[in-house]
Chain A
Amino acid sequence: MLNILLNSLKTFSSHKMRTMLTVLGIILAIAVYLISGIYSEAIIKTQSDKYIEFDPHSLYISDNLYSTSVDRLKQSFPDAHVSAFQESPLYRIHTPDEKNNFDVYGVLVGVSLDFERFPIPSLDALDCIKNSTLLYGRSFNNQDFSLNKKVAVINLSMAKLLFGDTNPLGQYVNFDEPSQYMIIGILSDSSDTLRMLERFNNDIAGIEDMTVPFMPFYVPLTSIGYKYPAGKTIVTFKPDVDMFDAYNAVLSLNYSYKNYTYTADSVLTSLEDSVAESNQIINLLVLVMLLMSGMSLSIILIFSFKERLPEIGIKKAIGANDAFILFQFFIENAVLGIVGALFGIVLSFFIIIIATPLILHVPVSSILGVLTWNNVTIPILLSLSVSMAFGYFPSLWAVKQNIMSVLRYE
C-alpha cells in the first residue's frame, strides 16, 4: 500500500507538467468554491455582527401595532412590554471605537401618490413635512406632489446606516416596492418633526383596518442588498413565554402581520437565506466547473495512460493482475484529487489574503474568523470524488488492454 503510494508520487514527480495540467481544472474549481464560500460566510457573519443583538424574547414587527391590538396583546401576555421605536430604538449601530455608537430609529418619509397602495396622507402630516427644517437638502414641495415624484426624506441615523459616509442626497432607497425613491432631504434625529410625524402616524394607526399612509418608519433595507426587518414595534415577552405562542398571538390580532413579524432567529435566517440564494448560483457554477474539470481529467488521463501502456504491459507480463493495476491507478487518481484540492486551497487562501484588503477594503482578519476545518475537508472530499469518478473509466480502459498489443508499443 505504502509502496504503491510512493510509486504514484514518483510517477507524478517525473511528470510534473502533465500532473499539473491534469489537476488544473480541479484546482480552479476548488478555488472558486472556497473563495465564494468563505466570502459569503464572512458577509453573513459581519452583517449579523454589525446590526443588532436581537433579543430572543422579543418579536420585531415591522409595522404599527394599533393601540387596540396592543391592548389585546397585553391581555394575553400581561407582562409583555410593547415599545414603539421612539422609546426603544430599533437598532444601535456600533462604531469601531464604541464611542460614537448611535441609535437608528429607521425613519423614512416618502411621498408616493400611489393611491392603490397607500391612502392619501393626512394633510397635517404633509404640511408638517413640507414646513420642517432639515439638516441637509430640501423638503417636499408642491411640484413633488403634483408630478408624483418618487422622493423621500430620511433621518440622519438612517442615512448613516444606509450610506455610511457617502452623501445620501441623490441616492435611492426602496419602500417595500420595486420603484426607488430618491433622497432629497435629511432630518435631524432630534427634530421635532420626527415626533410630530410619529403622532400623526399614531393618529391614523389608531383607526383600525386603515393602512398606514406613506409608510414612515418601515424600512426594508433592500437598498443595501438584504431583506431586513425593521419595524416600529418591538414586543418583549417574559423569558418563560413560549415564543411560538407569542408569535401566534400576534398573528391572531391580524393575520397579515405574518409577513412582517420577526423573531431573533428569523431575522438571521432571512439574512442567511438571501446570501444562500446568491450562493446557489455560485454553487451551480462550481458544479459545472467540477464536471468540466472532471471531463478534462478523463481526457488527459486517457492520453497519459496511452503513453504508459508499456509500463502497464510490463507489470501485467510479470504477473500483476488487473485488480492490482486498477488499484494502483485509483491511488494515483486519489492523490491527483488531493493534490488538486490542496493546491486549490492554497490558491484561494492566497487570493483571499491579497484581494480582501485590495478589493473589499477590509482587513483580512475580518475574514479569518469564519474559517473552519470544513474549508479544508470539504474541498478535499469534493475533489477526491471527482478525480476518482472521472478517473475510473480511463483506468479501466488502460487495464483491459491486451498485454502483447501493449508491449508492442515500444
Chain B
Amino acid sequence: MIVANEINKSFNSNKVLCDISLTINRGTFFAIKGPSGCGKSTLLNILGLLDTPDSGKLYFDDELINFKNRTRTAYLRSREIGFIFQAYNLMPKLTVFDNILLPFLYLKKSLFNQNLYDTLIERLSLTRLLTKPADVLSGGEKQRVAAARALITNPNIVICDEPTGNLDLANARFLMSLLKEISIEASKTVIMVTHSNDFDSFFDDTFVFEG
C-alpha cells in the first residue's frame, strides 16, 4: 500500500503539487490523469523516489520514506520499484540487451529470472532488436525496451509515465494487458500516467488533477 499525505512541490516559485494526498492499495492498477503541465510527472517522480517533496509524507506499506537516506531510497528503487520513463532514459550507446539487463550491473545475478526475461522479450516483441544500440531505435521501440528494463527486476510497484504515448494501438494493447496481468496475477501495484481514455476499463482506480 502506498500512502501520500499532503505532498507539496514547487519549482522556484511555480507551485506544481499542492497538498496532494492519495492512497494506492497493493495489486491496484492505478491511473493518474490531468492536463499537460499539471504536475503528473512530478508526482510520479516523487512516488518513484526520484525526487524529493518540499513537504508532506510518503509511506510504502508502513515505512515512512526518509528521502534524505539515499542508500535506502536507492535500495527501494532497485528492489521495489520499476520505472518506465516518459523520456525512456535508455543508455544510448548500449545495446537493447545491455539496456534491459542494466539493473543487474549492481543487483545480485541470482535475482535474474530467465522465464520472466523470455516472457518480456516475447510479449514486447524485442527479439529482433536485442543487438541494436538503443540510440537507433524508434520512439515506440525505445518505449518497449524501457518497459522491459523496468519489469525485469520483478518489482512490486511499477510506475509508468505515459508508457503507451508512442505506441501503435496493437503494441499499446500488448503492454496494457501485460501490466494488467502483472497487477492481477502477481498482485503488483501499477501506477500509470495517461492522457488517453482508451484503456479506462483496465484501471481499478483513477486520480485526476484538477486543472
Contacts and interface: CB of A to CB of B under 8 A. Distances in A.
Contacts of B87: 407, 410
Interface stretch (A192-200, A255-263, A317-325): A317-325
A323 B153 CA distance: 20
Contacts of A323: 71
Contacts of A407: 50, 85, 87, 89
Interface in A3-45: 3-4, 7, 14
Interface string B66-84: 0000110011011101010
Contacts of A7: 105
Given A311-B91, A313-B89, A410-B87, A318 B50 contact: no
Contact of B105 (A3, A317, A403, A410): A3
A314 B75 contact: no
A319 B71 contact: no
Contacts of B50: 317, 403-404, 407
- Number of chain B interface residues as a range: 20 to 34
Interface in A310-358: 310-311, 313-324
Contacts of A319: 74-75, 77-79, 81, 103, 106-107, 153
B87 to A, nearest CB: 6
A322 B70 contact: yes
Contacts of A316: 74, 77
A321 B75 contact: yes
B195 interface: no
B105 A320 contact: yes
B74 A320 contact: yes
Nearest to A311: B91
Contacts of A403: 50-51
B24 interface: no
Contact of A321 (B71, B85, B153): B71
Most chain B beta-carbon neighbours within 10 Å: one of A4, A321, A322: A321
Contacts of A321: 70-71, 74-75, 78, 106
Nearest to B42: A404
Interface string A380-405: 00000000000000000000001110
A404 B52 CA distance: 9
A318 B83 CA distance: 7
Contact of B149 (A3, A310, A318, A324): A318
B106 A324 contact: yes
B89 A317 contact: yes
A410 B89 contact: yes
Contacts of A311: 91
B167 to A, nearest CB: 20
Most A-side CB within 10 Å, residue of B70, B83, B103, B149: B70
Contacts of A322: 70-71, 74
Nearest to B46: A404
Given A319-B107, A402-B52, 5 more contacts: A317-B48, A318-B103, A319-B106, A322-B74, A407-B50
Interface of B: 45, 48, 50-52, 70-71, 74-75, 77-79, 81, 83, 85, 87, 89-91, 93, 102-103, 105-107, 149-150, 153
Interface of A: 3-4, 7, 14, 310-311, 313-324, 402-404, 407, 410
